[in-house]
Each structure stands twice: as structure tokens, then as C-alpha cells.
Structure 1
């Protein structure tokens, strides 16, 4: 049975590896074994959560995972605040910062964002389970 996962964590750097661990456990329970899809999920969670920690005034961040047919949907929702938008995906690879969205865009089939009521923002990525 396909069960979505949702975890809400405080905006602390140590929450990122916790969410990666929870995502691995969820993928195991959903029998998602494709390594490229698993790697993409972990990359998306790591980068989007880090962006939310660094670029927003959020107290907590919510990450959601859902399997639908032959793809996965990964969402990371912040609570907004000053500087809620991370750097654009066109960042220069020579720069140490700002490459995360570029890496994500290269690893997923679709990437987007939506504003939430209350000023928060949800970044989402769709990852294929088929080659």
C-alpha cells in the first residue's frame, strides 16, 4: 500500500541528515530500490531543506514524500520570512554557494515552487522511477 510520508523538523542543520534517514526508511518501506531515484530524493531533501534553513525565518520545515504510479513527489515547505527565495537555478558553478537548485534540476524530471497562505513556500520535485 502506498503511504505518503511527512516529517516536520526544526530549522537546525542537524535536521537535514535526520530527514535523509527518514526518507531512506520510507523508500525502503515503499520498495523503492532504484539507486538513481533514491539518490535524487536524498539530494532534493538535502538541498531544499538547507535552503529553507539558510534563506528563511522559519521555525520548522516540513518535508513530504509521495509515490504516485511511476514517479515520486518530494516537497519541502518553509514558513517564509525575510529572504524566503533561495538563489536562482542559474547560479555560477565557480561559486561555492548557489549550485543546489542547478544540481536538483539536473536530477529530476520537474521542479517548481508555490506560495502558501501565510507567506510560506513549497518547493517540489518530481522524480521518475522508470529509466
Structure 2
């Protein structure tokens, strides 16, 4: 999809449609949708990509969300401490809190990165509380 602000809601709507087709509960689906939103937002905000590709897969182990960009910058997406006065900079913190694991690899379609996150098929009984940083 074309890397514009509207592609975030389009990716979320497509993911919701897939989750509904798969019969995934709203509780689990909401985490998937939040991660889709954060990864697509990061791809369009922090890269000069013309297009962004978002994939959602499921198997017996869980879900895998992949967002591929066309970034030619050498900088790899990484979690960083959020500026408490900024409205930005918390995307990968949220991904890290919700995902079982996540990472970054080289994009398969040419230059760029593929940022992925994996979640279990069911919601955890109790979420760990993120550490408070004053």
C-alpha cells in the first residue's frame, strides 16, 4: 500500500477483517490491531518509503505481524526511551509490552527493513505492568 497516513487505518481495517474471518476474539484482536497500527505508523513516519507491506499470519503457535518498508537508511528501528514531553516515541515500547517477541530483519523485496512481532493465540491472564520511568 502507498505509504501515507491513511494507510494506517487501511492496514488496521484489513487486519480486523482477517481476524474476524479467523474468528479471533476482540481481546486478542485488539492487541494485534494496536501492533499493526504502531508498526505501520513507524514505517511511514521514520522512512522515506513509497510503499509499505503489512502481513498477518497465524499458526498453532500464534500470530506474526510483519511490516516491510523501503528504507535505505542504515538506521535499524529500535526501542528507545520516550521523551516524557513528546507525543511520539512510544510505538516500539507498546509493541514490546504486547508482543511475545519482536525484531527487525532485512526486507526481502529489496532495500528496507522488515519489522515483525509475534503474539500468542490467546490473551495472557494478567499483563505485566510496564516499569514506571519518571
Contact in 2 for aligned 1:56/1:84 (Cα 8 Å): no
**Cα distance, 1:83–1:43 mapped onto 2, change above 3 Å:** farther
Unaligned 5+ runs, structure 2: 125-134
Shift of 1:129: 1.3
**Between Structure 1 and Structure 2, which shows a larger proportion of strand residues?**
1
Contact in 2 for aligned 1:58/1:80 (Cα 8 Å): yes
2:43 paired with 1:39: no
Paired position in structure 2 for 1:53: 44
RMSD, aligned CA: 1.7
Q: Say which is worse superposed, 75-84 or 49-58, in terms of deviation.
A: 75-84
Q: TM-score, normalised by structure 1?
A: 0.84
Give structure 1 regions of 4+ aligned residues with deviation exceeding 4 angstroms.
Answer: none
Report the number of matched residues.
Answer: 121
Measure, in 2, the Cα distance between the counterparts of 1:69 and 1:120: 29
Paired position in structure 2 for 1:65: 56
Q: TM-score, normalised by structure 2?
A: 0.82
